[in-house]
A and B are shown apart, each in its own frame.
Chain A
Amino acid sequence: MKAVTTITGPAAPLLRDNVDTDLIIRIERISQLVRGQLGPYLLETLRYQGNGPESGARSDFVLNQPAFRDACTLLGGKNFGCGSSREMAVWALEEAGIRCVIAPSFGDIFYNNCLQNGLLPVRLNAAAIQRIADASCEGANVEVDLRQLEIRTPGIKAISFDFDAAQQQALLEGLDEIDQTRRLASKIANFRQADMKARGWAYFA
């Protein structure tokens, strides 16, 4: 996984609650396209007139507005990424250039999927998100600093955010979980040996 430190660029406001992963990437895109082809289909129901980019962009959608075409942060509402576990929602965001989502809360599975891919999910109260949105509504740069746990944008005071220290470290270093877990092989083997004795019924011997 690639490391995350600071993300700088416009922050597009998509301030509505319950933006679900079906809306972020439609089912037929994840079944019929592969990773690397998803970017153009991010939020396609909101972004285009009809099916896919060929149908024409909707000018009223935030990511189609000149100020936010190159957005690398998305400002969201409550429960962002709720619903389906599809990790392709994170991949689609990533492929469309979004590297950070700031929202009051996230779907639990989506949040984990973000961490797995180095897409920074920042939990922040709605009032603070609104302040960032107001200050950057012309497309001003928003700087999200994972090392300092701080969001900076011209015209307002820096806003700090909480982040789990272990997860922060993992993102900063871009650690691979499989490699880390494989180092615990002997602990896993010991656990399993004891467990097979204690809960023989749970295994198929």
Chain B
Amino acid sequence: MNTLFDKLWDSHTIEHLPGGVDLLQVDRHLMHELTGVEAVRVLERRGLAVDSPALTFATVDHVISTAPGRRAGDEDWSTQMVDAMRGQMAHHAIPIFDIGKTGKQGIVHVIGPELGLSLPGTSIVCADSHTCTHGAMGALAFGIGSTEVVHVLATQTIRQKRPKTMRVRFNGRLRDGVSAKDMILYLIGRLSAAGGTGHAIEYAGDAVEALSMEGRLTLCNLSIELGAKFGLVAPDETTFAYLRGKPYSPQGAKFDEALADWKALASENGALFDREEMVDASAIGAQVTWGTSPEHVISVDDVIPDPAALDDEPRRNAAQSALDYMGVHAGQHLDELSVDRVFIGSCTNSRIEDLRTAAHIVEGQHVAGSVTAWVVPGSLSVARQAEQEGLDDIFRSAGFEWREPGCSMCVGANGDVVGRGERCVSTSNRNFVGRQGPGARTHLASPAVAAASALAGHIAAPASVAREAGA
């Protein structure tokens, strides 16, 4: 009796190598400019060719400008990197999804699914840790390093040690205003940032099945923040409906052929996992991080915990440094913290559903005077959809800046950074020291909490959550 993960892994295994390492076929190799340019240079220096350009897809997301009217980077170095990527991809006949009026550019983990490149039953790699996002489609998707990229370019295969398996069941129904982002942050808080290390995690249970495709992508996206390189959701009708008619999805008879294979992609009854966890979905409140690891997370109405309560010294050290860095103290309520910036975007929460949720909250209101608030859609296609629905106008009227797609302030690679000492409520994935810029203080949260905080000027729960808590 096999797990979903076993089926995915076994169907891509070309050869068992010594030491539990397998040589795997790569179905989709996704590239972006930040890690791509240098890897292609190494490949070229070694005199190697790209093995399968037709299975390789590129975009520009990390250092590309997100300013309206952009053409490449905001600075010379970033423009050079974007142009180098364009030149390399043309030279090696690798399709690149670029900016422009009819362009399909976007964050690599947003465009893979929305273009129908990320399919159930495929293997997907990218030199980016958030490649686990694509596991939401029922794919074997994982992040790799630069040297591994050269290996994939040269051979369209990857050597990997088989991880252990874990299943996390979210049972029951989510409360109003609570989202996939809250589910995964809550889980990280419970299991720790290393809780999933060495594992491939399958998310299951009613609350997962009830999630939209966008929600599942958010859920799997933060698997790496739980330590797991792989996150998975078994494909079902939600997945199939999402993929039908996407530009790179199989079409016509090929779609039906694929569908027959995809329907077999589920963990069998009685399949054994190395570890199983259960979560009561109805117990999850809106989550916000207070520290510098995603495991430093509490419900928006809880108080910041005291590191002195931790008996493990390295853990206590990390928590104390986190308090100092964040300029917060044990026992503090989150709503006492005034906010300088709000960032709605990133491969975690920049899809159409995220923008709809945030727009619904800010519609007809205005961000607090002290707050600089940004919306950075995940892709040109998300941006176009949002503009069609008038969401861009809602955000602009509410005082948000509506920008062009890219990774932007999640990682600050293109120069979109939070200032030193500034506090930012961000829908991204990492609250690490300096992640959003040197000295930046990041509080991770859902789009709903980010939108509510922008309006309030301090960390705040959206009204729907507050109502439920009061009821």
Contact = CB atoms under 8 A, between A and B. Distances in A.
B17 A188 contact: no
A112 B145 contact: yes
A136 interface: no
A175 to B, nearest CB: 11
Interface in A74-97: 77-79, 82-88, 90
Interface string B55-80: 10000001100000000000001100
A85 B149 CA distance: 11
Interface residues of B, number: 79
Interface string A54-89: 000000000000000000000001110011111110
A107 B227 contact: yes
Given A17-B315, A31-B62, A32-B77, A200 B197 contact: no
Contact of B143 (A26, A30, A109, A202): A109
B128 interface: yes
Contacts of B229: 108-109
A34 B148 CA distance: 18
Interface stretch (A138-146, A150-158, A177-185): A177-185
A74 to B, nearest CB: 13
Contacts of B154: 178, 181-182
Contact of A87 (B14, B146, B317): B146
A31 B81 contact: yes
A85 B127 contact: yes
Interface stretch (B252-260, B336-344, B382-390): B252-260
Contacts of B315: 17, 77-78
B119 A202 contact: yes
Contacts of A37: none
B412 interface: yes
A113 B257 contact: no
Contacts of B254: 200-201
A105 B143 CA distance: 18
Contacts of A126: 312, 314
Contacts of A108: 163, 197-198, 227-229
* Most chain B C-beta atoms within 10 Å of own C-beta, residue among A27, A28, A78, A165: A27
Contacts of B250: 201
B87 interface: no
Nearest to B154: A178
Given A27-B413, A77-B314, A177-B151, A84 B434 contact: no
B433 A85 contact: no
B438 interface: yes
A131 interface: no
Interface residue SS majority, chain B = mixed
Contact of B317 (A15, A188, A204): A15
Contacts of A199: 11, 121, 261
Interface in B5-40: 11, 14-15, 17-21, 23, 25, 27, 34-35, 38
A2 interface: no
A147 interface: no
* Majority secondary structure, A binding face: helix
B155 A182 contact: yes
Contacts of B34: 30-31
Contacts of A83: 129, 224-225, 430, 432
A22 B155 contact: no
A6 interface: no
A15 B314 contact: yes
B90 interface: no
B317 A16 contact: yes
A149 to B, nearest CB: 14
B271 to A, nearest CB: 22
B257 A200 contact: yes
A193 B317 CA distance: 54
Contact of B144 (A84, A85, A181): A85
Given A23-B434, A85-B145, 12 more contacts: A17-B318, A22-B430, A34-B38, A79-B227, A87-B145, A108-B197, A113-B147, A164-B161, A178-B150, A191-B15, A199-B121, A202-B27
A-B pairs, top 6 by smallest CB distance, nearest first, are A166-B19, A77-B314, A201-B258, A79-B194, A113-B145, A116-B147
8 contacts: A45-B438, A77-B317, A83-B430, A105-B227, A112-B145, A167-B19, A178-B155, A202-B122
Interface of B: 11, 14-15, 17-21, 23, 25, 27, 34-35, 38, 46, 48, 54-55, 62-63, 77-78, 81, 119, 121-122, 127-129, 143-148, 150-151, 154-157, 159, 161, 163, 192-194, 197-198, 224-225, 227-229, 248, 250, 254-255, 257-258, 261, 293, 295, 312-315, 317-318, 321, 411-413, 430, 432-435, 438
